[in-house]
Amino acid sequence: MHAAAVRSRDYTPVLILAFCLLWSSAFAAAKVALAYCPPLLLLAGRFLLAGTLILGACALLGQLKRIPAREVAALALMGVLNNACYLGLSYVGMTTVSSGFTAVIISANPLLTALAAGPLLGERLTPLKLAGLGLGMAGVALVVRSRIGSGAEDLTGTLFVLAALVTLAAATLLFKLVRTGAPLWMGSGIQSLAGGLALLPVALMTESLDAIQPSLPLAAAFLYLTLGASVAAFSLWFFILSRASATKASALHFLMPPLGLMFGWLLLGESVPPLDLLGIIPIALGIRLVTTGGPVRSGIGR
């Protein structure tokens, strides 16, 4: 009976914590790498290597399976949105804005997801969940207004990160809309490879290979971004999405502001204004309401 209890134990909370730590720390690691390498070349190399590693591991473990071309195309589109567009725009933005500020903006993903999840996925938000989303976004808005108003962040870089937020929300919804028979890791590998292939020609046309400055910090950050973020974090994210509604899963992004600010401060010495800390309070309350405010019903299979 004890063995059965161990087998049935739900490790999802542990996986969620691991995802949040990997995802939020990747912003600071990216900021380190961007000091030595142009953003699109960095991402193209990261995605191509991650996709090759994941699909190679799938082949060794017997997890590669034949799926219809339509599903491959859908996974490739999600890869372009999730990797090439979301992170491409984020990294370009992070060349002029801080990593912690980027994490705060991206944490607004639940609001966009919730607004579209109703008509597209049939998800219904309870009043408590709506209140949680409102509180969370109020906290995000407080931080954004503080940073932009004080001139601490670049407006153009902020617009790039906001565009990245839109593509991330679109990718989240697309994942919930599309059914695929591909194993989780195989799907993640296809998406990474698609993102890398989409970014590579753009990177080669707009950035110079001579701008890359080989160094130990670049190598360490690149490996962390590839193995920790692209391989581990994205696989965990799709696992979480496959087990939760789009709105509830996206609510995890409300954890990113405090974690992103913390990693930016610890690793990069980025300043954390008092209003940033004040903004974390409604964000934390929003997390609790969104994740515990009653069931979210969906007409789409989970």
Q: Report pLDDT for 292.
A: 60
Q: What pLDDT is recorded for position 49?
A: 96
Query: How much is the pLDDT for 8?
Result: 43
Predicted confidence at residue 265, as pLDDT, reads 84
The number of C-alpha atoms within 13 Å of 185 and in the hemisphere containing its C-beta is: 17
Q: What are the angstrom distances between the C-alpha of 207 and each of 38, 41, 157, 210?
A: 7, 7, 18, 9
Give residue limits of the domains in the chain. Answer: 19-292
Given this model, what pLDDT does residue 252 score?
A: 62
pLDDT along the chain (302 residues), means of 10: 48 74 87 95 96 92 87 90 91 90 80 71 74 82 77 86 90 77 84 94 96 96 92 77 60 68 82 78 75 42 27
Of 161, 54, 186, the closest CA to residue 109 belongs to 161
The confidence score (pLDDT) of residue 235 equals: 76
Look-up of token digits 């309870």: 126
Burial of 6 (0-12, 13-18, 19+ CB in 10 A): exposed
Give pLDDT, residue 201. Answer: 96
